[in-house]
Amino acid sequence: MARLLVVEDDPFVRSALIRQLTEAAHTVRSVGTALEALREVAQVGFDAVVLDLGLPDLDGAQALKMLRGITDVPVIVATARDDEAEVVRLLTDGADDYLVKPFSGAHLTARIAAVLRRAGGGGGAGEPEPPRVLRVGGLTVDPLRRHAELDGVVLDLTRREFDLLAYLAGRPGVVVPRRELLAEVWQQSYGDDQTIDVHLSWLRRKLGETAARPRYLRTVRGVGVKLEAPQAAVEHA
């Protein structure tokens, strides 16, 4: 499992990539512009970036050069351009691999695995890297096994509750906007906030808390939701 950033402005393509990569047990975050990608990479640690070249604010080739100025994270370029000179230029500018659109989810997953092996993060000739288990306070979330525990007690979660918990647990202490939750957990570009509120209410109940007396899940009014350990929450209060 890897933490991936998908940089793609087409909502349909982005949704498909998120679904395919999530089904392959990866943790996926996505943005639609080059500037958002630069901000995400600067603030969040990723194992690899999938970068579309046709972005609305900057050409992907420019974004690649800027990414290389702040990080050495592996970058797989997704492009409709199959000109050999263009591909050579991208690889010279720092791309680790490239895929010509259209491509299948299986093809992309295989390329990601190969890039991670070369980077030392995907299990090369030595021992394979164990799946990343998320721990926040007494909460343990294993995305690969889809297993969650609170203080050693197994949590009985629905699929959507688990997806929501795992997404937030992968970003402890970070306020995640509701729009991002809709895009990443529900794979919807728009929707009713009540959907999120209902699932948060169910999740809170299973974590032994309420909106009025939160422990792990905290709503930041007008912004979004964050998950953090109870002690951290007390310190930030």
What is the tens place of the pLDDT at every residue in 35-46? 898 888 888 778
User: pTM value?
Assistant: 0.52
C-alpha torsion 174→13→23→184, nearest 10: 20
Report, in angstroms and rounded to the nearest whole number, the Rg of the chain calculated over CA atoms: 19
Going by their DSSP bridges, the two strands 147-150 and 27-31 should be labelled as unpaired
% of residues, the chain, pLDDT over 70:
88
What does residue 17 show for φ and ψ, rounded to 5 degrees?
A: -65, -45
Q: Which residues contact 158 (CB under 8 A, 6 or more apart)?
A: 202
Domain with CATH 1.10.10.10 in the chain: 134-236
3.40.50.800, 3.40.50.2300, 2.10.25.10, 1.10.1060.10: which CATH number matches 3-119?
3.40.50.2300
Strand pairing partners for 100? 79
Q: Are 29 and 64 in contact (CB under 8 A)?
A: no
The letter for the amino acid at 41 is V
Domain with CATH 3.40.50.2300 in the chain: 3-119
The 10 Å Cβ neighbour count of residue 89 is 13
The tokens describing 194, both together, are: 């009540």
The tokens describing 219, both together, are: 């709503």
At residue 98, the 3 state secondary structure works out as strand
The arithmetic mean of pLDDT across residues 98-126, rounded, is 72
C-alpha torsion 98→103→106→107, nearest 10: -30
Half-sphere exposure of 148 (CA within 13 A, CB side): 26
At residue 179, the 3 state secondary structure works out as helix
Q: Does 191 or 90 have the greater pLDDT score?
A: 90
The tokens 């799946």 sit on which residue? 131
| Residues composing the chain | 237
- Per-residue pLDDT tens digits for 26-78: 889 999 998 898 888 888 778 999 999 888 988 878 888 888 888 888 999 98
- CATH of span 134-236: 1.10.10.10
